[in-house]
Amino acid sequence: MTVMTDRPKMLTEEFESLARIGAREIEGLRLEFIDGKLGVKAVPDGDHDRIVLWLSRVCMQHRPELWLHVERGLKVQEYRSGRARPDASMAPDDAFVGQGEWADPAPVLMVVEVTSYDSDTDGRDRNEKPRAYAQTGIPVYLLVDRDSCEVTVYSEPNGRRYQNARTVPFGQDVELPEPVGITFQSEPLKDWVR
């Protein structure tokens, strides 16, 4: 007898249906589907939102031809069977025009996650999402970790994982490698943590 250990707990189509119903029924409910598991993404607090808005301004100053799309659902992982909702995705301004709730990640140059003070969301941001985004081939994953007061830049995806991860404490320069090609000072992030 063969035991199937890698079968997801639900199919992608089942997740998408559940996510549509949940979004209609419960305001602010944000679901994700990574590694075959359902996850609920915490509703962001004001500091979380402020970080994303600040990063959007930084990116627009350096790369005005690109936008930081907020909460854009992406098809992730091998064979695009996962569904993630990064806090922000850097892509051309019209990259997602005409696409539904879960978009093709091909035009995405970078995804951004800002940790929440929720252990489940926090664990996904640090462990599951780096793998999912690397499998998808997204060139850069920027993790703003409010617990450790650090920024981690993941780059060079090889189809399984990111080959490079550089972590710096808040207050130091953060270098986002090509194809993003931005360096910014992270000192302001100190103001938006507990």
14-23, 59-68, 96-105: segment of lowest average pLDDT: 14-23
Contact status, residue 138 vs residue 108, Cβ threshold 8 Å: yes
The string of pLDDT tens digits covering residues 107-149 is 999 999 999 887 776 678 888 899 999 999 999 999 999 999 9
CATH topology of domain 44-192: tt1808, chain A (3.90.1570)
Half-sphere exposure of residue 150, counting CA atoms within 13 Å on the CB side?
Answer: 10
What is the C-alpha separation between 80 and 122, in angstroms, rounded? 22
Half-sphere exposure of residue 21, counting CA atoms within 13 Å on the CB side?
Answer: 6
What is the C-alpha separation between 183 and 176, in angstroms, rounded? 6
This prediction has a pTM of: 0.82
All structural domains of the chain with their residue ranges? 44-192
**What contacts 157, CB < 8 A, 6 or more positions away?**
133, 134, 135, 136, 137, 138, 139, 163
The string of pLDDT tens digits covering residues 33-82 is 677 676 767 677 899 999 999 999 999 999 999 999 998 999 997 765 78
- The pLDDT of residue 176 is 98
